[in-house]
Copies of this chain bind each other. A is one copy, B any other.
Amino acid sequence: MITIKEIAKLSGVSFSTVSKALNNSSLVTAATKRKVLEVAEQYGYSKNLLAQSLATGKSNMIGLIWQDVVNPVYAQLAMQFYHYFRNHDYEVVMTMTPPEQAVNLFKQLRVDGLIFWGDLEGKTNQFAKRLRELKMPVLIVGSSPDQNFPSIQIDRKAGVREAVSYFQQQGHRRIGMIGSTQESKVQAYKEALLDAGLPFAPEYIVPCELSWERGYEAMMNIPIHPNSPTAYIGCNNLLTRGALRALKERGVHVPEEISLIGYDELPEMAYAEVPLTTVGPSLEEIAVKTVESMIALIQMRDVEASTWITPVLNVRKSVMRVTKD
């Protein structure tokens, strides 16, 4: 493993000149530059990023803290991050260890910035405090454990409202929700019903966690009768697909008997047994705004404390118009 000192010897210049040549500094003649690069190439030189980072105080790395890979939304989003950060000469390194420990790792690695994403709704203020103590650019994507933290916020409430409103337009009155673990969605749902003058009953909310299995189980077991909802919002992509499968197996036709809108927009939503109408943020938009904000944070430029992204409705075939209820 050759170092700049050795390259210096081999090419007959000082090692500080080698450093400059390697960094394409304008303080070096083309000739020496060429000579140095040639030697470097020949001996398979690979710069030591650790040493460089230590010397410069910056790593050109962004730490990405991943919460849950089973959800394809996160997989897609991560891909987008890689893509866009590369365009700005940042490498992103990702870890799946729990946030509390991942924070330490990346702090110790002195990454230039830290991105969190996934659902931090459950995290305590304690954690937000820790994050602030870090004294490094931190950007939260998804939901922030604490307002006035730099973040890319998804306006989930707007998304849920949009779904309720679309159902209403299509003539539905009894609208339910599958999934009960995300406070903001549940609340938005209730508010939207209220504002729209639509009826609500506790059993309209099907308690369920955010996985395919739970969605499936929940909808296998729920009683369906003439007064139960004619339309449901599924709180995420996995659960909604599980729910759809369950309905199918029970012989309940979607959308003829029950309409469905799934939260989260993803290609696979279109591939469900019934192509699912969805409401969800554009993942590309999230990635682009994240990159922008992160770079601004690193350069200490002013950043809006939070950037909001509004989910959009994507009409496919899982919602039916009802004329009479």
Contact = CB atoms under 8 A, between A and B. Distances in A.
Instruction: Give the interface size bracket for A toward B.
Output: 35 or more
Nearest to A53: B50
A209 interface: no
A93 B91 contact: no
Given A70-B72, A242-B271, A273-B273, A50 B110 contact: yes
A108 B212 CA distance: 40
A300 interface: no
Given A48-B110, A82-B96, A97-B86, A91 B75 contact: no
A47 B97 CA distance: 19
A212 B95 contact: no
A78 interface: yes
Interface in A165-201: none
Contacts of A135: 1
A212 B69 contact: no
A248 B271 CA distance: 13
A268 B212 contact: yes
Nearest to A268: B212
Interface string A95-127: 111000000110111100000000000000000
A108 B273 contact: no
Interface string A62-88: 000000011010011011001000100
B54 A50 contact: yes
Most buried by B among A50, A75, A79: A50
21 contacts: A47-B108, A49-B105, A49-B109, A50-B50, A50-B53, A50-B54, A50-B109, A54-B54, A69-B75, A69-B78, A75-B75, A82-B96, A82-B97, A93-B93, A93-B94, A94-B95, A94-B96, A212-B271, A245-B271, A245-B273, A273-B273
Interface of A: 1, 44, 46-51, 53-54, 59, 69-70, 72, 75-76, 78-79, 82, 86, 91-97, 104-105, 107-110, 133, 135, 212-213, 216, 242, 245, 248, 268, 271, 273
**Which 6 interchain pairs have the tightest Cβ spacing?**
A49-B108, A69-B75, A93-B93, A94-B94, A50-B50, A82-B96
